[in-house]
Structure formats: structure tokens, C-alpha cells
Structure 1
Amino acid sequence: MALWSSRRRGYAVGAVAITAALALSACGSQSAGTDSAKPAGSAAAGGVQLVQPGKLITCTNLPYPPFQSKDSSGKVVGFDVDMIDLVAKKLGVTQEILDIDFDSIKGGAALNAGKCDIAAAGMTITDERKKNLDFSDPYFDEVLGLVTKKGAGVTSLDQVKAKGLSLGVQAGTTSLDMAKAAGIEAKEFKDSGKQLLALQSGQVDVVLQDLPVVVEWTKKPGFGDSFELVGQVPTKSQYGFAVKKGNTALLKAVNEALGTAIKDGAWTTSYEKWMGAAPVSTPSPAS
């Protein structure tokens, strides 16, 4: 959920980790569509089969700034949105966002049911998820941030456990995996917004979340008066976009669009826009 180097999965995390003032924003594209399954069969460029004619439907879980979230007008925007917009452009279609539970995304249920064509949710590439999804090349490096009240005196998960503090994580994420590995029974929340509210309302003492999301939190009015980023947990993992297993045509188009974006500077431009700093490194383009 690495400093700005390269994952949640394939990006440069080092710069962001150092400054809590990074301008992390949101990600998404067009508004969410219906939550009902849609029949596949409409072909786009390169013979890619899409759920609906003229659309590349993206499953995500809102809010998850700076990867995807709604702006003041209600439009879904962010880093992931920018990247998938490039894929849609390559296919000659437009992107549409579908907001659903993360569990339906990571387990492949949404893709298998024909609800969407691609999953873009700041999603970590894991061996377990590979059983149900086919992932793109990594596009961002993952580092988690530990947040608590000022003066709490903790900077690590080991200290959270030793002090008997309550920990909040987002359900189904690598933050939950890290908590379990540390021997902590964490309280789970469906999205990052509910997780933040739990911290602010005192339901939990500490939260663990992807660093870009945490940095975005630090920009909220009054947040820094009571809370602070106290630690970083590199996972050595990376983020990837995902398609239904066996959808090689769409996966090829995604990797080609990512590769082009990395080579022509579009990836860097979007990174700087949403992360508020230049990347320390970039992911390797698809071969």
C-alpha cells in the first residue's frame, strides 16, 4: 500500500518519503458506471475485446489519492487514471471508472464477472493475487507509512505491538499482511477514507497505509496539528494494473502504453503532478 523509487509498484518512492508536504492528489477518470455485469464482445484496436463498445471500464476503490479520487467537480482523477487514459487512447476508446470493493478487485471477481476490463487501484503485485489476475509490468514502488498522534512515541510496528496500541489498516491490502507478520490483530476498514476517520475519531491509535496516501492526508487542514507520519515500511513490492487471466491482448496494450509513457516522459510528468516531487527512479519499460 519504498521511498519514491519505482511500485504500489514501479515508481520512484524515495523523494516522497522524505517530505510529508508532497502534493499527492487523486486518481481516476470518468465517473463510475453501473455495478451490474456487462456482456463482453466489443472489439477495440489491436483486437482487444472490451466489456462495452467504445469504453475501457476500470475497476477501482475510491478514495485512494493520489492514485484515484474525486475532485471538486466529482470527476475521478489521479496518477492511475492518467496511466489508464493512455491505454484507452491507444485503443481508441475512453476510460470509465467503476468504484467497487477492493476485495472484488484483488480476487478477480469483478473482472471475471465482466464488470470491468482492467483493475487500477494502486494494487500491489503479489503471488497470491497472480493466481486470479494477470498483472502488467510494475509501474510504482510500494512503501507504507505509519501514522499516529503526535508524541505517541512509536515509530515501528514492533513498538505498536509492544505498547498494545490499536492499529487500523485497509482491508485486503499489504498493510494487513504486514500487521499480521508483526503479530498484530489490526482493525480493518473498507477504504482509506474510513481508515482516516477512524484515526481522527480515536477508534484506532495508529494506522498503516501506502505512503502516497498518507502524504496526501498530511495536507488536510488541521491534520498536522494532531497527527504525524512517524515511520516508513518499505515492502520491496510494486504496483501493477491487472486484467482477467488470459486476456493477453489487453495486457499487451497496457504494457505498450506504459512503456511509451516511461520513454516519452508522460509517466514522469504525471508522477510530478500527483506526487509533488520528481521521481528518484522510474520503472523499466516493457521490452
Structure 2
Amino acid sequence: MKTRNLVAALSVAALAASLTACAQETTKTESGVNVIKDGDLTVCTSLPYKPFEFKQGEDIVGFDMDLAKMVADANDLTLNVVVTGFEGIQSGQALNTGKCDMAIAGMTITDERAKVIDFSDPYFDATQALLTNDESLKSLDDLDGKSLGVMAGTTGALYAKENAPAGVTIKTFEDLGLQAAAVSAGQIDAAIQDNGPLLDYAKANPGTFVTAEFDTGEQYGIAVKKDANDDLLTSINKVVTDSKSDGSYDEIYTTWFGSAPKS
């Protein structure tokens, strides 16, 4: 396709997507929030990302799911979870096309993402970590001449791009499960990802180790459609604040991480 025709096609597609998003009908609940399905809080997430969100039997469970249920309960709604790709969540597409009311997926708040989605107040502190099957690999410099797995669209991928030596071969994976499995199988030498899921994986998979953590000062946020759902955002922020005050946040944190967060 010629460049001019490609640009025109993309412009038409973008306009169509915009019109579809604008035409999305919503229902206002008694609590004042707008939802795409009457009686439900429809929440997008991306799997697997244990212990934040993962499938257990037929259910989607995890720390994020418990927090999402608190938001649903606060608005007398039933939690309805939609599993989708992380790229569609962090780009705002899942929200713009009316796939869900809010998104929670262990997603770091960044300036770039905040241009296309509205974030709640931070609800979780995170950092990057290194998963490997060789305990001698304790830094990105140790990976010079070796391979490093990243997950597409993540802050870990960006950190690797900016900080890994030129001799590191970076391989991109679609999700955490494939990324971690590649380390276990010896297909790659290490993987970089948020510390919570990697610590959980190493604990459950003997022979893999978290050998380093990188203090990136990251914080997770819950997302809603940009400039379109202030009432829901206000409700989310209230749930996060109230749960930290009444102890319910510490309860779900202990359930999934073994102890309450450090104050």
C-alpha cells in the first residue's frame, strides 16, 4: 500500500474507532458512576500475572481482583472480568472501545500512559527484578553476551532497553507466563519483570531465582477511560483510601503476599 493511501486508511480507521467510542452507551448507577452493562462493573485485566491476576479453576483471582471487587461492592455492582491483551489496556484501546469500565492489571503509572487513560491514585508500590536459572547472574551487566526476556509494552522492557549493555540480546514475549517459562526451560538466560510476580514464580518453581531488584520507584494505578468517567475514578480512589484506613487492604495484601505491606 502506498504511503498516502496508508495514511488515509489509518485516518479513516482512527475516525471510525473514535466514533464507535463516542457512541458507546452507558448506564448511570444509583451511586452515580457510568457503566457499560447495567448491574455490572466490567473490568479488563491481562493474564497471567500471579499473584495480581490469574486463573484458578474457572475463576479469575488475585490481589487486583480482590481490590476490583471492593470497587464493585462499593457501587452495588457485580464484578465482571474481561481478559484481554496488556497492550490494549495500557494504550487505552480496551477502554475507548467500550470493552470495560475500568482496567486493573498490575499497571505502572507513567506519563505516556496518562496521556491516553486516566489513572487512580497509586495502590501498590513495585520495582523491577531479574529472574534467572543461574544464581551468578546478579545484574544486567552480568548478562553481557547473554539473552534477556522482556514483556511487550511493559516498564521492564523500557528499563532493559535503557540500561542493559549493548551485548545483551533482548527477546520479547507476549505475557509473563511465556517469559518466565522460557527462563525455566533455558531458552533465555534471564527475564526482567515487576518484582511481585517474579518472586511468586521463583517460590513456586525450584531452580529459578530472583537475583536482583532495581529500584525504579514504580507505582500501580487503576485506569478508566480518558476524560470520560470522573465519578468512577472518584469511587476507585475512595475505595483505595478507605481500604487502607480500615485494614481491608492489609488483609488482601497478606492473603496474596504473605504479610502486610511495610509502612
Fold shared, TM-score > 0.5 on shorter chain: yes
Equivalent in 23, 43, 46 of residue 61 of structure 1? 46
Give the RMSD, CA atoms, in angstroms. 1.7
Which residue pairs with 2:18 in the alignment? none
AA in 1 matched with 2:258: G
Task: Give the secondary-structure state (helix, strand or coil) at the position aligned to 1:45.
Answer: coil
Question: In the TM superposition, what are the counterparts of 1:64-83 in structure 2 within 5 Å?
Answer: 64-71=49-56, 73-83=57-67
C-alpha separation in 2, matches of 1:261 and 1:40: 31
Which residue pairs with 1:136 in the alignment? 120
Is 1:49–2:34 an aligned residue pair? Answer: yes
AA in 1 matched with 2:157: L
Which residue pairs with 1:263 in the alignment? 245
Is 1:92–2:76 an aligned residue pair? Answer: yes
C-alpha separation in 2, matches of 1:40 and 1:82: 27
Higher relative contact order (CA 8 A, sep 6+): 1
Which residue pairs with 1:156 in the alignment? 139
Shift in Å, 1:46:
2.8
Which TM-score applies when normalising by structure 1?
A: 0.80
Gaps of 5+ in 1: 1-36, 282-287
Equivalent in 152, 173, 180 of residue 154 of structure 2? 173
Gaps of 5+ in 2: 1-20
AA in 1 matched with 2:255: K
Count of matched residue positions in the alignment of Structure 1 and Structure 2: 239
AA in 2 matched with 1:158: D
Question: In the TM superposition, what are the counterparts of 1:268-283 in structure 2 within 5 Å?
Answer: 268-281=250-263
Which residue pairs with 2:220 in the alignment? 239
Shift in Å, 1:185:
5.0
The question of whether the paired residues in 2 share the 8 Å contact of 1:262 and 1:268 is answered with: yes
The question of whether the paired residues in 1 share the 8 Å contact of 2:133 and 2:186 is answered with: no
Moved over 6 A (4+): none
Shift in Å, 1:42:
1.2
Shift in Å, 1:202:
2.1
Which TM-score applies when normalising by structure 2?
A: 0.87
The question of whether the paired residues in 1 share the 8 Å contact of 2:123 and 2:221 is answered with: yes
The question of whether the paired residues in 1 share the 8 Å contact of 2:146 and 2:169 is answered with: no
AA in 2 matched with 1:156: S
- Identify which range, 91-100 or 38-47, moves more after superposition: 38-47
The question of whether the paired residues in 2 share the 8 Å contact of 1:45 and 1:90 is answered with: no
